[in-house]
A and B are shown apart, each in its own frame.
Chain A
Amino acid sequence: MPDSLPASPSAMPPARPPAGGAAGRTVAAQPVRFRGGGFTVKRHGWAALAAFAALLAVWEGVSRLGLASPLFLPPPSAVGRALAGMVADGSLWLNLKASLARIAVGWVLGTLGGMLVGFAMGIFSTARAVGVPLVSAFFPIPKIALLPLFILWFGIGEPSKFATIGFGVFFPTVIATYSAIDSVPRNLIRMAQSFGLPWGAILRSIVLPGALPGILAGFRITASIALILVVAAEMIGAEYGIGAFVLMAGNLMQTDTLLAGVLVLSLMGLAIGTVLSLLERRLLNWR
């Protein structure tokens, strides 16, 4: 035996307990200590509200105490008053209407076109072979950079804004749609084929519903893209629209009005997200 090994038997691994009985330490009767706490997500809805209220209070306080000039950081109460003013004089609705119409038209155009192309690419390998390089080439272009070109093509009016938003929405929709089709379980398609379902029925009953989760997830992304693009487009050239409104307020140094416009934009984003959540819950309740 090499002498590096301990000679004393007590340092050796514990001997096997004698048959029928336990060896080693004896534990007196005691409750099992709970050790499964933490590392789980609990809902604390009030915590978010409280944090939000605290933030507003601090902000309000900072302004009231004169720690920040109200010109650069108007208190929340002033932003609220500005918003109320916008509602009262009708400018809120006028600008909101213009922005929503642009988002709606641009988004619908881009989405329809994108889904059409995405489906073709998802289903036909030729369409995919042609489409993938094109999409990869166009996708990274910051779409707002094309607005001047669209203005030259379509004029300064609405169509150039529709085109910018539509173009921005189109490519992500294409990608979301064809990857959604790729993710439709192959075994379901095999099953349908094995029962002799015709091509069109497989498309309608399996590929389309199977791709829906991925397509709807794409909507979330394209909706936020549409919101960004509408503001940017309106800042470049529009009479009405929340983007134009915010820009104008900035030029006039009306920071309270400016922030009220920003608030309206966030609420728009929130509203769109809520609508999409409802849609998902409705259409994807099977998940």
Chain B
Amino acid sequence: MRLLVSELTHRYEDLTVLDGIDLTLAEGEILAVIGPSGCGKSTLLGIAGGIVAPTAGSVRVEGAVPDGCLNPITFIFQDFALLPWRTVEDNIALVLEHHRLSAAERRERTETGLRRMGLWDFRKALPKQLSGGMRQRVGIARALAVRPAMLLLDEPLSALDAQTRELLMDDFLGLWRREKTTALYVTHNLDEALRLADRVCVLSRRPGRIRELVTIEEPRERRQEPSAQAHLAEVRERLWHLMKAEAQMADREIARA
């Protein structure tokens, strides 16, 4: 599925958060969005997912939707957003309950998601009994259960430690190797952007505008290889430079205010 964002502007009361965003995500493309804190990344994602109404401009989607897709645009959350009173499997069942599915299909979707995320043995556990990484895997399994066409990820690994983050990045890579799910991936972490994204969108400090769109030429599967490192280092340098400049200016504005 393609995502077309055009002339998007958003204001909370009189705080302009996003200003004139034009963006197109190709079918199956993974776009990382980085930018200083408070520049409107989560807002952009919320608008793209239809849970925040934009002040002006439009967001449209078009294109292919996988078979059996129940929720074309699906979120994966930073805080996992699991119901603490439901077991792992019932958390996944939650997003299937309101669809007319046979009991067998319901079970099949839950089981497939759980098995793919290595959670099958933990299906009866409550979220409080799981580590952060496992909780986010439940979040991913829940998203997979509805067979999305597009994933919106809001700092999905920020609440996790570095090792767990590595493991989950591998999970995402595996996921995107199998499914050509378009994704908008908000992060603060350049490693994640460089490992996972096809392109990186750098937003300016608030009001968020697109500072630059950087394409990572190396294909995702080859980024661990030595031959890719020179290019990645170059991209990292460029992104870091852009981010630093924006963050410093944002800090200076706060200091002046």
Contacts and interface: CB of A to CB of B under 8 A. Distances in A.
Interface in A196-232: 196-198, 201, 205-206, 209-210, 212
A126 interface: no
B94 A190 contact: no
A286 B128 contact: yes
Contact of A195 (B79, B127, B128, B146): B146
B84 A195 contact: no
A287 B128 contact: yes
Contacts, number: 54
B79 A209 contact: no
Contact of B95 (A187, A197, A210): A197
Nearest to A200: B98
A266 interface: no
A126 B232 CA distance: 56
Contacts of A187: 77, 79, 81
Contacts of A277: none
Given A191-B75, A191-B77, A196 B83 contact: no
B98 A196 contact: yes
A201 B51 contact: no
Contacts of A195: 71, 74-75, 94-95, 142, 146
Interface in A130-161: none
Contacts of A284: 85
A188 B51 CA distance: 13
B94 A286 contact: no
Contact of A201 (B50, B75, B79, B98): B98
Contact of A194 (B75, B86, B98, B126): B75
A193 interface: yes
A191 B81 contact: yes
A191 B75 CA distance: 8
Contacts of B98: 196-198, 201
A201 B83 contact: no
A209 B83 contact: yes
Nearest to A195: B95
B207 interface: no
Chain B contact residues, majority secondary structure: loop
B66 interface: no
Given A195-B95, A195-B146, A205-B97, A287 B51 contact: no
Given A194-B74, A195-B74, A195-B146, A286 B95 contact: no
B49 interface: yes
A130 to B, nearest CB: 26
B51 A193 contact: yes
Contacts of A198: 98
Contacts of A286: 84-86, 126-128
B95 A190 contact: no
A195 B49 CA distance: 10
Interface string B49-87: 111000000000000000000110111010101011110
Contacts of B86: 286
B94 A194 contact: no
A287 B128 CA distance: 7
A209 B85 contact: yes
Nearest to B49: A194
Contacts of A196: 70-71, 98
A198 B71 CA distance: 13
Contacts of B126: 286
Interface string A276-287: 000000001011
Contacts of B71: 194-196
24 contacts: A187-B77, A188-B81, A188-B83, A190-B51, A190-B81, A191-B81, A193-B51, A194-B49, A194-B71, A195-B74, A195-B75, A195-B142, A195-B146, A196-B70, A196-B98, A197-B94, A197-B98, A198-B98, A201-B98, A205-B94, A212-B85, A286-B84, A286-B126, A286-B127
- Top 3 closest pairs, chain A to chain B, by CB: A191-B81, A286-B85, A195-B95
Given A194-B73, A197-B98, A206-B83, 15 more contacts: A187-B77, A188-B83, A194-B50, A195-B74, A195-B75, A195-B146, A197-B94, A198-B98, A201-B98, A205-B83, A205-B94, A284-B85, A286-B85, A286-B126, A286-B127
